[in-house]
Amino acid sequence: MNSPLSPIHPVALPHAYRLLNTGPTVLVSAAVGGARNVMAAAWNMPLDFDPPKVAVVLDKSTHTRKLVEQSGRFTLAVPCVQGADLAFAVGSQSQVDHARAGTVKADVLGVQWLGAADVPGLGDEAPAFSAALVAGCVGWLACRLLPEPHNQSAYDLFIGQVTHAWADERAFANGKYRPLAEVPEALRTLHHLGAGRFVVPGQELQALAPAAARV
Amino acid sequence: MNSPLSPIHPVALPHAYRLLNTGPTVLVSAAVGGARNVMAAAWNMPLDFDPPKVAVVLDKSTHTRKLVEQSGRFTLAVPCVQGADLAFAVGSQSQVDHARAGTVKADVLGVQWLGAADVPGLGDEAPAFSAALVAGCVGWLACRLLPEPHNQSAYDLFIGQVTHAWADERAFANGKYRPLAEVPEALRTLHHLGAGRFVVPGQELQALAPAAARV
C-alpha cells in the first residue's frame, strides 16, 4: 500500500525511543507462522537510546504473550485517534476467548495488517519483522525479545531491542514528533485513562531553561 | 501546608497505577539523611495493580540513583503545567555538577518540598516516606525499592512497590483523573517530547466498545 494516505518511512534507530517518550498507549503484536495477534498495552516505556530498547508488560493470560515467547519477536505500534475504537477493542477482548469460540480476534475486530512492501528498509529480514504490523498507526517499533526469564515470570515484564522502526511522516518526521499544531487530530496519540477513556495531546509547550544553566 | 490551594489526599493503593497510566513524565526523588535530590524521568510505567509496582529508568550518572540505592526508597511525583520549567530544570542539571560547584541543585532551582503534615495517612512511617516529596505536583507514589541488581546494572531499570500514594484532588479524585474539562490547565500532566518540549492533554475521548463485546 504505502499510499499517499499513509506515508510510512524508516526512523533512524537512535530516534526510535522518541515514539514512546510521551507515554502513549501501544498495540503489541506478534506472529508465529501464519498466526498473528495484537493486544493493547498502556504499560510500556523506552529503556535505552542506542541500540534502542523498550520494556512492556504482557499479562500471563494474553495470547500475544505466547506468540512473543514462541517467536522471540514483537512489535509495538503507536495507535492514534483514528484507531481509538480498535485500540480499545483489541485491549478488551482476548484471542484466548475467541479461540474457544472458533474465531480469530484480529479478523473479527477488523484489524488490518501492513505487508512487507509497506515498510521500507527491511531487506532479507522482511518476513520475520513485518509479520505483525498493524495498519493505521503513527509509529512502529519492531523488536527482538531479549529473554529475561525472571522479569517475565515475576513481573510480566518483557524487554526488547528495537531492530527496525517506522513512522507516518504526517505525525513524526526527521526523528521526532511534528509540532502538535501540524498534526491532524486523527493522527494524535492516545493516552489511556482506563475503560476506553483516552486523553489526547492538545497543547504543546516549551519549558524555559533554568537560569543557572544559561549563565 | 495542605492549604485550600493544594488539597492533597491519599489515593487507595489499587488505584495508584492510574496516576501513571497515561504516560506522564515524572519527577524521581529520594533522600538519605538530610540530603535529598530530584530528577526527571519520562521513562516510567506501572508494573502491577495490587500491590502496585512501578518501573523507572535511572541513569548511572545521576545522583538521585545513588540516593535510591542507599535509602531503598524513592518517590515518583507527577508534575503538571505549572511545574514545567522546574521539571525541565531538574532534568537538565545534575547534582553531581552542583556538588563540584559547592551548591545544592534542589535549592538553586527552588524546589519546594512537602512536609509530613502535608500528606495524610503516613503515621509512624512519616519520616521515611515523606522525606522527598516535591510540592506543586498532581500525584505522588512513595515506593520501596525492590532490589533487582541485574536489572539495575544491565538496564538502569529500577522496580519499586508503592507503599503510599497521594493526589491533588483538583486533578485526580475518587481514584482516577478527573474529566479533563474539569482540570485547570495549570494542573494537566506533562508528556515529554524532548529538550523541554512537552505535550499536554487537551482532549478526552471515549472509545466505543467493540460490537462483538456488546452481543
CB contact under 8 A, B191 and A22: yes
Nearest chain A residue (CA) to B204: A199
**pLDDT tens digits, A80-96:** 999 999 999 999 999 99
Nearest to A194 among B18, B155, B159 (CB): B18
pLDDT on residue B212: 53
Residue B56, amino acid: V
Can you tell me the mean pLDDT for A203-210? 93
For the ranges A34-48, A123-137, A151-165, B138-152, the lowest mean pLDDT is seen at A123-137
Q: What distance in Å separates the CA atoms of residue A77 and residue A139, rounded to the nearest whole number? A: 6
| Averaged pLDDT of chain A | 93
Beta bridge partners of A40: A27
Contact B172, B19 (CB under 8 A): yes
* Angle in degrees, CA A179, B178, A81, rounded to 5: 40
| Probe site for chain A from B157, B178, B189, B208 (most A CB atoms < 10 A) | B157
Q: Which residues from chain B sit within 8 angstroms of residue A18, using beta carbons?
A: 193-194
Using CA atoms, how far residue B49 sits from A94, A190, B105, in Å, is: 19, 21, 34
Q: What distance in Å separates the CA atoms of residue B83 and residue B73, rounded to the nearest whole number? A: 23
Contact A84, A40 (CB under 8 A): no
Surface of A (80-139) touching B: CB under 8 A: 81, 84-85, 87-89, 92-93, 108-109
Nearest to B118 by CA among B166, B80, B161, B82: B166
Contact B13, B165 (CB under 8 A): yes
Can you tell me the mean pLDDT for B112-136? 84
* Angle in degrees, CA B68, B73, B79, rounded to 5: 85
Other C-beta atoms lying within 10 Å of the C-beta of residue B204: 18
Which of A129-157 are b and which e, b meaning 16 or more Cβ less than 10 Å from the residue's Cβ? bbbbbbbbbbbbbbbbbbebeebbeebbb
The C-alpha cell that represents B47 in the structure block: 508494573
* Residue B192 contacts A, CB cutoff 8 Å: yes
Sorting pLDDT into bands at 50, 70 and 90, what band is B18?
very high
Sorting pLDDT into bands at 50, 70 and 90, what band is A127?
confident
pLDDT on residue A6: 56
**pLDDT tens digits, B56-107:** 999 999 999 999 999 999 999 999 999 999 999 999 999 999 999 999 999 9
Can you tell me the mean pLDDT for A5-22? 91
Nearest to A93 among B22, B45, B210 (CB): B210
Q: Which residues from chain B sit within 8 angstroms of residue A208, using beta carbons?
A: 85, 88, 196
Nearest to A200 among B42, B84, B205 (CB): B205
Sorting pLDDT into bands at 50, 70 and 90, what band is B140?
very high
pLDDT on residue A119: 85
Q: What distance in Å separates the CA atoms of residue A65 and residue A158, rounded to the nearest whole number? A: 9
Q: For B156, left (φ over 0), alpha (ψ -120 to 50), or beta?
A: left
pLDDT on residue B211: 67
Nearest to A208 by CA among B55, B83, B150: B83
CB contact under 8 A, A208 and B46: no
pLDDT on residue A125: 74
CB contact under 8 A, B88 and A207: yes
Residue A43 backbone dihedrals phi, psi, to 5 degrees: -95, 85
CB contact under 8 A, A155 and B47: yes
**pLDDT tens digits, B31-45:** 998 899 999 999 999
CB contact under 8 A, A199 and B201: yes
pLDDT on residue B129: 74
